[in-house]
Structure 1
């Protein structure tokens, strides 16, 4: 049966069918969303709890630990990390990718309910949680500031108007803030004044708390009318609170303004954010799980003109960190790369066929395959991203292969005198099995990718499916439309050629064929030498794979740099802000930087700041993101008292815990003191490793702590309780929120503290008085002794154990595999205690998992092809002949990567897997025709393979050159996102170059060797019978 004959005899139906594919593809293209990388949803739940005034140790033991115990037993938990700090606890639970984030959220709620009995009874409110996805980068940041209005008014506008409007946009998830200055009334007490009047801080706090309320009053229900009752029970501004009567002394009122400074200020004055020299409120906009980043940002930008128009005249809005700018630039550049690949492939086909009509026939396969694939991508919910477009670009080079093979075989029959119709029917029948073999075996290469687990598997599944669909469509087009077009548009003039160019090109090809024929005869004569070359190639491939440095995911230039600053542990908030201003001033002077925005949050510690850098668009800057980082390092190093850790922001974020630098190495120990002892030792040891740099850790040196040692006997005699001491200290130094008042817009707080000049040092505590049971004021110093000590401000857990995360960046010219090996060696040399364990986290952990799977993945791809070819040829031997083409491609790919100083990343691995599918096509074309010659014409194996090689030399050259030039723009591209695609192109180009030279000679020899082996085995079995 001739499958193609049905379509050859019905050209109108065939053409209309293909037009339908084109139409569906065009519709799908207009609907596909744009993204940086495929959407990968990592089910993650963030839990937050607060207990104001509690130390980090108290939060870790009484709040974090009970929650962790309940969360750890949930099904599918893969990671459980937490941070306990002054008054707050933050826990991140990451689930297996097979879990739905919605069902995971229900489990988390159940776990929180189960742990509630073990939590402190004085928690202000139950722990809250929200869904998160660490793989999603921040969508954008919107900075709002005013040079005229108080920042509290700006904050009011942002919180009450701007943020809710942004949150309502479809696709927007969490909206949070930096530098928030929520309006509040601050009451700054003079402790000497209240002591002189016989008042305590608790007396003042109680008076303020009792002065304002907002309770229901009821209704008067008359005979004819109902009247709602109200009262002026709220105090809503600083002037109102200043006039409050706190007490009476000598029949005269003591008003709050007599003993305190009462000002309109902010709830938390120890945090702030800045951009361009302006203090601002930063709004971070995150994407909701399951929505496309580009579409969401477009919706937000569509709202911005209206929101900007509604701003008060003196208020300004700045859009920062828009990731979609580089995503669009990368996609546009990749689309240009795709178009360039199409042009190069067309030129290759024309150079070999030397006729416009003959060239257009296989070239038609390209738009049909691409648009048909795009239609299926739309159905499957994929996006136009770096991975899917990379798949479409790389398949351009070999979607024309099947059509070229079909066309070349039909042209050969026309040259032999058959009519175009008869030639199309006969040629398609002869070549159909070859095309099916090439197509199915090439698609089989991607089967192992579909079964890869984890994040990497999710990421490359889209690549495998996209490329596989394109190849299947090209195979169908080659068996249907290609012979149909050949029957209608080819003639003998096309087959025989005409013109000087055709004749000159034919002479060049004939000379090339003659050179190859002579070399092939020598290879067949010196078979042992040729087999030795094939063996050395195989051994060289294995050795090069072992030797080549290996990486995870190529580092991208997304035009965004993240920075973490660190100063001494005891630095004040004011001093830290001054350091940040100096540092930002240095960074802003770089000519390739567009925006610098940064923030400091004083709780739990003022010594950590955050900084984000927006680079100018690609066309407006001269340096890459890594050049800018390299340029900034020595400049900021000259600034004393502060350190800056920089890393380029990436599309692919793995791990729930953030770190100062890119790759994470976590130390865990049940013994906190042992952990705190060994973490600095390990940090120093990692700093001595030459293949890594920017080594940092999240173990903050313990901060100074002033402990009030209570004389309980004296306190008992005076009638003073420890709770009274705690309340007094909290009133004085804790920014205690003592009252709440309500407006139509929002809820506001009254914050109590002593004056700033009473908060400078330990002498401040000597100014505090408490009321004894006899009503007299007693100085705190009379029953409290002060001791200086230290305490951690944060305690991190990983897997319920106390943990310290060390992090590092790679030194220039070194791969992640080298860094991980060096860190492992250094850790083993130190002789850590048994209770201290060390594991890689985040990207480093994912890399290590993928590294162990790489040989298995390659072996699985080889096995899949072997099984498919064995079924197609009904032979155990012939698939081995075809697979013998692969070592030469491997050594070419690895050699090209090493020569150009690229590591063997996951993208390069995909290139090698693609090569497995591409290169074996040469073997299929040789073996297929050799077997046909043996079976149909009775030729000896030597003569059959010799004729097959010469007969298929032209299509082999055409298909290889098409695939090679199709990948060339990927290998040498330089636009946005090129660093991600380059390893793939280099691997394919290098592999095809070497394999093209070697396999034309080694494959025929291996065919004869295996054929002889098979015949001997067959004769041995026959004699045994």
Structure 2
């Protein structure tokens, strides 16, 4: 005699009975959800990815004239020491380069960024007393490593350089910054006007005055100084001393000293005042034509597409104004950051629409009944639109992750309605009235529907609460699916039975089609016969399965082992490559190369790029934004996809072949990274304290990685030192002659770099007045014997009397990580290779070939670091997902044994997804991991339908074999319907029909592969395992009962 199966206790009247009894009430609730959902959808922001908060504080401290080693010792280390003790700090990075120190403090994601910024400000303020006296004020601000300009503009005009800059900075920039939600507009390139006082070395010597003294006197003579205010009777009077220079003559007539204590020495006597431009540190070109660039950034949290559209509208207005000005100026868009967002969002929206159509078509194909199709399909708009209400309440945006959640949910959302409606339809076909069929059919599958929905929610709920950057990235995805599934469950248990009771009508015969022509009727009739044939075939297979269960289980286990072996052959990476049609190309020449030489070389390489028919535009910047003249970077935009034969990756390979002859310039291509923090896909840091050991070890590792087939453009950020002419003070002689190191250094810096001594005002504009030696005398090496420096009494002393010189090489840049030096090796991933596989190879190199010296270590950054975090988080999420599914099933069925039967589908689904990725040459990445993870919740649906009905039949008194035969054949149609609906909903993602969707193809393939394998094997393996597991359940229950009786 069979033991009665466990069943969840359900109240006499559920949601289905309520909805049938009060249809208008349910209709009003649904209508309200739709209206509010549409309203919420219109108000949601739009972006490419969820906004991930990076608590990063940037401290930039200029120290003009100082070298990298000097910057590291005097500026960087003191600031690092202060900042490194802050709570919540993840790591501290720094860059010490000529003229500036940059310290970057990265905090954990849980840190309050406003509080962290204030802490950094306090610490930097406190360390000022330890810094050089002549250092400039530090700039402290929050930064987002993934932040990029949403719009890059180019300004061209037939104007002098400084007038072009003035137009960009004073006319265009303020107008663009007035656009709503624009945070910052930055002008890149060009030269500003300045007034230069070029000193004559011989005249300085003749009049016994130093360059420092001239700058100091000029500073004192050219200032407007407020004197204060007084109250006079009933009014207030303000006093000001106006000394600011208004003409060049004012500057020339300024007295800087008295020769022989009697004769006044003016600026005109020691130098020449010229109307000049700031030093040229960069040059910018658009398609080979000289121009200026403007970078527009949005405010944090702003809708990118709205800001871009607002900027484009303003650009049209600006162009209509400036075209009438001298120079025929034109402002054009170089890079539209909203284009890729718009393409991706529109693609996923199209995938949702196509998925809905295909899913509804599947329902119609199986049921061949118009009303049943409408009833089932109505679950989708309410679930999808209703989800926007909760998204708005939680502050989510419309982005790739939330839209993907809804896209992948299409099949899931209609599944519950399919199961309910199919079962109701079956009861109607049996001759019951629509209302009775609705009540009976819904009650029969209610537990199965609740179980399947709760399993999906149990899987994705915890995903929304993962820690770290990956957790923030997945939060909106996981919770959006949970929102939609909750609404879908409500619809399945209310709308479907209500409409079935009042709208379903009488089940029509399959060969009767009032609204369709004969061809459609024949297709549906033929498919109906196919279903009957399939049901009979499955009955035969199922009968064999129940007779030979061990063979089936053994064969399935072998399939599982075979598929598992393919896991290691699937390449693993963080983000798959995308055909975005844009990337950057950078080159660099040895340190010491001047801007003119770099410009000549970069222009030559840019010309080669532009000669390719696939290239639509290049935007070249010569000179680094940090002032390094020996680097150049070009933004490259390809023509639209339909106009070229090569995709982005293929064209990059073509470009690499063209640039082989320029290997000495380290050419590197780099995709625009949305979430990797601006790093290349492979970024490896070698960290240590001994610079020579660091350089030697890095060189060995770099040589190994350059030969790795999975990496392209491998390079390190270490460059040989710049030629340096060092002045070595003779301390005893200096003290004897009254010369301090500060006076000596300041004098030499004023002569070469120059000092901004005052301001020159003309037509309401202010320009810097820079004091420096004339151009022919700035070579300190050549003029070393002719240089004089001041002592504390302002007398000039020959430099050779207090110092000597030496020629050497100084480091071009010093990078530090957590107060140790580091060198970064970076590269791109070759097509078909996987980042995870490369990282495994790197580990083998360190384990077997290159032993790191004591005190040296390695660490990853960027995508490589994110990949490690992703793998760790997904492992935890998989474990919790399986645990929560078990808890949900055990709770609903009040059994610890039944869940094991249902969960047999999980390994079968995962193996199927890996097999599909392997045969289609796709990688295991963040998107395919989402797909594989989704299978945890989806794969159990079919098992639940089968096992739940088998339990129901056993409860009614049928033996296991008979129950499994009836359950299998009865549930075959809903299982196939739900599976095909899921596949139909995912198919648009898997096809990757345009450039935006190709990045997510692996996700669709992983889901479809897992669905096919889990469905086919579930229909066979679950019945085979059921008989054994259920026997154990009955045996254990009997044993437990006896044990209780004995006690």
Q: Matches of 2:1040 and 2:797 in 1, distance apart? A: 109
What's the CA shift for 1:341?
1.2
Q: Matches of 1:717 and 1:800 in 2, distance apart? A: 39
Alignment of 1:581-600 (within 5 A): 581-590=603-612, 591-600=614-623
Q: Structure 1 residues 293, 744: CA separation in 2 closer, same or farther (over 3 Å shift)? A: farther
Alignment of 1:44-443 (within 5 A): 44-125=56-137, 127-148=138-159, 150-195=160-205, 200-216=210-226, 233-236=243-246, 238=248, 240-242=250-252, 256=267, 260-311=271-322, 312-314=325-327, 315-443=329-457
1:207-262 superposed Cα distances (whole Å, 9 cap, x missing partner)? 54444222236789999999987777332455654565667889998765665453
Q: Matches of 1:237 and 1:966 in 2, distance apart? A: 74
1:450-491 superposed Cα distances (whole Å, 9 cap, x missing partner)? 231111111111111111111221111111111111112223
Residues 81 and 797 in structure 1, CA contact (< 8 A), matched pair in contact too: yes
Relative to the length of structure 1, the TM-score reads: 0.93
Q: Matches of 1:117 and 1:304 in 2, distance apart? A: 47
Q: Secondary structure at the match of 1:944?
A: helix
Q: Structure 1 residues 281, 522: CA separation in 2 closer, same or farther (over 3 Å shift)? A: same
Q: Matches of 2:418 and 2:698 in 1, distance apart? A: 62
Q: Matches of 1:757 and 1:582 in 2, distance apart? A: 30
Q: Matches of 1:780 and 1:881 in 2, distance apart? A: 90
Alignment of 1:674-753 (within 5 A): 674-711=693-730, 720-742=739-761, 747-753=766-772
Kindly indicate whether residue 512 of structure 2 is the aligned counterpart of residue 494 of structure 1. no
Kindly indicate whether residue 814 of structure 2 is the aligned counterpart of residue 831 of structure 1. no
Q: Structure 1 residues 359, 772: CA separation in 2 closer, same or farther (over 3 Å shift)? A: closer
What's the CA shift for 1:288?
2.8
Residue matched to 1:973? 992
Q: Matches of 2:739 and 2:388 in 1, distance apart? A: 77
Q: Secondary structure at the match of 1:492?
A: coil
Q: Matches of 1:738 and 1:774 in 2, distance apart? A: 21
Residue matched to 2:894? 874
Q: Secondary structure at the match of 1:805?
A: strand
Residues 152 and 293 in structure 2, CA contact (< 8 A), matched pair in contact too: yes
Q: Matches of 1:870 and 1:571 in 2, distance apart? A: 71
Higher mean displacement: 91-100 or 231-240: 231-240
Q: Matches of 2:377 and 2:794 in 1, distance apart? A: 98
Residue matched to 1:510? 532
What's the CA shift for 1:789?
0.9
Residues 272 and 601 in structure 1, CA contact (< 8 A), matched pair in contact too: no
Instruction: Count matched residues.
Output: 1018
Q: Secondary structure at the match of 2:243?
A: coil
Q: Secondary structure at the match of 1:99?
A: coil
Residue matched to 2:5? none
Kindly indicate whether residue 652 of structure 2 is the aligned counterpart of residue 629 of structure 1. yes
Residues 132 and 289 in structure 1, CA contact (< 8 A), matched pair in contact too: no
Q: Matches of 2:977 and 2:431 in 1, distance apart? A: 24
Residues 209 and 795 in structure 2, CA contact (< 8 A), matched pair in contact too: no
Alignment of 1:625-1024 (within 5 A): 625-639=648-662, 642-654=665-677, 659=679, 661-711=680-730, 720-742=739-761, 747-759=766-778, 762-770=781-789, 779-781=798-800, 784-828=803-847, 829-936=849-956, 938-1022=957-1041
Residues 558 and 649 in structure 1, CA contact (< 8 A), matched pair in contact too: no
Q: Matches of 1:102 and 1:466 in 2, distance apart? A: 29
Residues 882 and 924 in structure 1, CA contact (< 8 A), matched pair in contact too: yes
Q: Secondary structure at the match of 1:571?
A: coil
Q: Structure 1 residues 531, 540: CA separation in 2 closer, same or farther (over 3 Å shift)? A: same
Kindly indicate whether residue 577 of structure 2 is the aligned counterpart of residue 555 of structure 1. yes
What's the CA shift for 1:1005?
0.6
Q: Matches of 1:356 and 1:119 in 2, distance apart? A: 80
Q: Matches of 1:25 and 1:881 in 2, distance apart? A: 39
Residues 425 and 507 in structure 2, CA contact (< 8 A), matched pair in contact too: no
CA RMSD of aligned residues (A): 2.9
Q: Matches of 1:203 and 1:784 in 2, distance apart? A: 20
Q: Matches of 1:383 and 1:786 in 2, distance apart? A: 62
Kindly indicate whether residue 40 of structure 2 is the aligned counterpart of residue 28 of structure 1. yes
Q: Structure 1 residues 330, 785: CA separation in 2 closer, same or farther (over 3 Å shift)? A: same
1:170-192 superposed Cα distances (whole Å, 9 cap, x missing partner)? 43334434225232112333434
1:494-533 superposed Cα distances (whole Å, 9 cap, x missing partner)? 2665255354332221111111111111111111110102
What's the CA shift for 1:264?
2.1
Residues 76 and 96 in structure 1, CA contact (< 8 A), matched pair in contact too: yes
Q: Structure 1 residues 776, 918: CA separation in 2 closer, same or farther (over 3 Å shift)? A: closer
Residue matched to 1:526? 548
Q: Matches of 1:1003 and 1:712 in 2, distance apart? A: 89
Residues 415 and 495 in structure 1, CA contact (< 8 A), matched pair in contact too: no
Q: Matches of 1:396 and 1:578 in 2, distance apart? A: 56
Q: Secondary structure at the match of 1:143?
A: strand
Q: Matches of 2:241 and 2:495 in 1, distance apart? A: 85
In structure 1, list runs of 5 or more residues that go unmatched: none
1:678-705 superposed Cα distances (whole Å, 9 cap, x missing partner)? 3333322322322212112222211111
1:945-966 superposed Cα distances (whole Å, 9 cap, x missing partner)? 1110001111111111111121
Q: Structure 1 residues 330, 602: CA separation in 2 closer, same or farther (over 3 Å shift)? A: closer
Q: Matches of 2:977 and 2:869 in 1, distance apart? A: 39
Q: Matches of 1:75 and 1:721 in 2, distance apart? A: 40
Residue matched to 1:37? 49
Relative to the length of structure 2, the TM-score reads: 0.91
Q: Matches of 1:81 and 1:17 in 2, distance apart? A: 55
Q: Matches of 2:983 and 2:791 in 1, distance apart? A: 90
Q: Matches of 1:989 and 1:835 in 2, distance apart? A: 49
Alignment of 1:599-610 (within 5 A): 599-601=622-624, 605-610=628-633
Residues 524 and 1005 in structure 1, CA contact (< 8 A), matched pair in contact too: yes
Q: Matches of 1:1006 and 1:703 in 2, distance apart? A: 73
Q: Matches of 2:393 and 2:593 in 1, distance apart? A: 57
Q: Structure 1 residues 787, 43: CA separation in 2 closer, same or farther (over 3 Å shift)? A: same
Q: Structure 1 residues 288, 104: CA separation in 2 closer, same or farther (over 3 Å shift)? A: farther
Q: Matches of 1:218 and 1:492 in 2, distance apart? A: 95
1:579-613 superposed Cα distances (whole Å, 9 cap, x missing partner)? 22222222233333324231414865322233323
Higher mean displacement: 181-190 or 902-911: 181-190
Q: Matches of 2:886 and 2:562 in 1, distance apart? A: 22
In structure 2, list runs of 5 or more residues that go unmatched: 1-11, 514-520
Q: Structure 1 residues 217, 892: CA separation in 2 closer, same or farther (over 3 Å shift)? A: same
Kindly indicate whether residue 593 of structure 2 is the aligned counterpart of residue 571 of structure 1. yes
Residues 224 and 240 in structure 2, CA contact (< 8 A), matched pair in contact too: no
